[in-house]
Amino acid sequence: MKNVIQFLGIFILCLSISIGAEAQKKKKGSKKSSKKEVVLTERDRMNLTYNFYNAQLEKQKENYVEAAEYFTQCLKIDPKNDASMYELALIYSGMKDLNNALNFSKGAYGINPKNKWYATLLAELYQRTNNTDKAIEIYEDLTKHYPNDPEHQLSLATALTYSGDYEDAIEAYNKVEKIYGPSPELTEEKKRLYLKLDRVDDAANELNKLIEHFPDEYSIYSSLIDLYQVNNMPEKALETIKQLENAAGDSYELSLALSEYYRSTGENDESFDELKKAFTYPEMSSNTKMRVLTSYLPLVRDDKKMLNQALQLSESFTKSDPQNALAHAIYADYLNINEETEKARDEYRKAIKIDKSNLNVWQQLLFTESTLSDFKSLEKESGEALELFPNQPIFYLLNGIAKSRNNKHEDAIKSLKVGSKMVVDNQIMLVDFYSNMGEAYNELENYEESDAIFDKALRIDPNNSLILNNYSYFLSLREQKLDKAEAMSKKSNALSPNNVSYLDTYGWIMYKMKRYEDAEVWLKKALDNGGSTSDVILEHYGDALFQMGNKQEAIEYWKKAKENGEGSEFLDKKLQNNSLFE
């Protein structure tokens, strides 16, 4: 406490001396001004010191509202206290109250225009309030008073650029360059401004000057080559590539430059050869390789050649850097696009073995497992994902689906219930949870709960054709609520015409309602739309034919059903007895 008291005493003494001196200056001023000046009493000076000190304490604690109140008290005591005005301008600026910030900043600057902090803040506020011309005036004044301070020159250059005065902005950057020498950052800004002025040669000269200072910085060569290529100057680009070859020799930078050059001249095979060569260099960073590979993503869906290139490059990446998880992951992505699903799964697994923390890679692995219908692996690996990411509902969903497909319906429901409670603002995912829960409950013959969950899902998404179909099919198998089943199935077919499964469901509902002629029509539609290899649809069609009296034809379709699969539990008995069993 003693040190704080000592500090306060010194602070009060210094501020008192400062205020006293200012008061003396005011007394010596002109008669006109002295009438308007406020002469502070000793008590005023003590109160001013007290409020200013407390304002600074509150500011240090980040209690800005309280600090502003104390600074305001300072101005009530001394309306010309520029330090308090400056502090209030800073506080209001931080609070994004630009009007008040600007007013207090003008006040501080008006009292003491030679204070560079006051001037800098006012210029910044002018820029933020789109008064660039006034900001430029202040920055120009600052650069005159502080010619060796590059910050003011940079601020001036930025303001001039914003106002569209590119020539003067370049000159401001040149002055900074005279102080510090060339740098990639300054050159990039000047290059950008020269290009806005359509002065390509000047932009190129800036890069050439930079190369003279940094001959081993290969990225500068690349920037210059790009500049020439974009502006249709292939001969200049080739000259720069030769410069790069002399500087870097045989390198990935040279191969990348040649690849871009060949691409710009339409020599695409040569371009890709150089790109492949670049990928073989261990010096080429992983980030650079990833940038190249991700640039292929928009191209590969509709262009097989581009996909093959992406596959070759991503495979090369995994070979040159086998411990890079992202290399395996992006290779897997391209394998998936190429429908090499099993190979994709292997690469995702390699990625996860190296780095288990990547949520997206886990998702892609599990989606791939689902595509492969490998529900045993999906159950195991989704369980591993849940241990790492217990708050991700997608992993509960996939885990529940896998358990259900593995006939662990009670365990599936547990996972699905937990995951569904974690879903936030994602109705599509929530419907997926309910749909899978409804199926699991149906398998457990808990039909009341199953129907309730399906109804809940349809209240959220009444046009979900998959749920409409599945729900109605389950009702038909139980021969319950067939009118409701018919309405839902009819709607699913309207939403998704010519869907084989949906056509079969509606035909089977007609069969259960003993509308055999309608059943035969819809089941025939299912066969004609791709269902001719489905044992279920073939058997259903045979049943409908039998009920219509076409016994021999029905037997033929039962035989076809047997050839294509197992069929129902009654199929063998139907064939043995040439009769219908249900």
Distance in angstroms (rounded) separating the CA atoms of residues 319 and 312: 11
Distance in angstroms (rounded) separating the CA atoms of residues 392 and 363: 10
What is 548-581 written as a DSSP string? TT-HHHHHHHHHHHHHHS---TTHHHHHHHTS--
Distance in angstroms (rounded) separating the CA atoms of residues 190 and 200: 11
pLDDT on residue 36: 54
CB 76 within 8 A of CB 35: no
CB 541 within 8 A of CB 527: yes
Could you tell me which CATH class the domain 463-582 is placed in?
A: mainly alpha
Query: How far is residue 313 CA from its own chain's centroid?
Result: 24
What DSSP element (H or E) covers 169?
helix 166-180
Please report, in angstroms and rounded to a whole number, the separation of the first and last CA atoms in the chain. Answer: 95
CB 437 within 8 A of CB 451: no
Distance in angstroms (rounded) separating the CA atoms of residues 236 and 254: 15
- pLDDT tens for 217-266 read 888 988 998 899 889 898 898 888 888 888 877 888 888 888 988 888 88
Distance in angstroms (rounded) separating the CA atoms of residues 126 and 121: 9
What is the DSSP secondary structure assignment for residue 324, as one 8-state letter?
A: -
List Cβ neighbours of 498 (8 Å cut-off, separation of 6 or more). Answer: 525, 529
Query: How far is residue 311 CA from its own chain's centroid?
Result: 24
Residue that is written with structure tokens 């569209």 in the block: 164
Angle at 171 between CA 168 and CA 176, to 5 degrees: 130
Letter for the amino acid at 184?
A: P
Residue that is written with structure tokens 């149906």 in the block: 442
For the chain, how many helices (H) and strands (E)?
Answer: 33, 0
Distance in angstroms (rounded) separating the CA atoms of residues 327 and 320: 10
Distance in angstroms (rounded) separating the CA atoms of residues 217 and 222: 9
User: C-alpha distances in angstroms, 43 versus 27, 47, 48, 429?
Assistant: 18, 6, 9, 70
What count of other Cβ atoms lies within 10 Å of the Cβ of residue 3? 7
CB 385 within 8 A of CB 401: no
What does the H/E/C string look like for 22-64? HHHHHHCCCHHHHHHCCCCCHHHHHHHHHHHHHHHHHHHCCCH
Distance in angstroms (rounded) separating the CA atoms of residues 176 and 582: 92
CB 519 within 8 A of CB 511: yes
Where do runs of H (alpha helix) occur along 95-146? 98-111, 116-128, 132-145
pLDDT on residue 38: 66
Residue that is written with structure tokens 């897997």 in the block: 332
459 burial type by CB count under 10 A (0-12 exposed, 13-18 middle, 19+ buried): exposed
Per-residue pLDDT of the chain (582 residues; tens, 9 = 90+): 333 333 333 333 333 333 333 433 433 443 444 345 668 899 999 999 999 999 999 999 999 999 999 999 999 999 999 999 999 999 999 999 999 999 999 999 999 999 999 999 999 999 999 999 999 999 999 999 998 888 999 999 999 999 999 999 999 999 999 888 899 999 999 999 999 999 999 999 999 999 999 988 888 988 998 899 889 898 898 888 888 888 877 888 888 888 988 888 889 999 999 999 999 888 899 999 999 999 999 999 889 999 999 999 999 999 989 999 999 999 999 999 999 999 999 999 999 999 999 999 999 999 999 999 999 999 999 999 999 999 999 999 999 999 999 999 999 999 999 999 999 999 999 999 999 999 999 999 999 999 999 999 999 999 999 999 999 999 999 999 999 999 999 999 999 999 999 999 999 999 999 999 999 999 999 999 999 999 999 999 999 999 999 999 989 999 999 999 888 889 999 889 989 888
315: closest CA among 300, 299, 335, 339?
335
What is 434-485 written as a DSSP string? HHHHHHHHHHTT-HHHHHHHHHHHHHH-TT-HHHHHHHHHHHHHHT-SHHHH
**Domain boundaries defined on the chain:** 463-582
Residues in the chain: 582
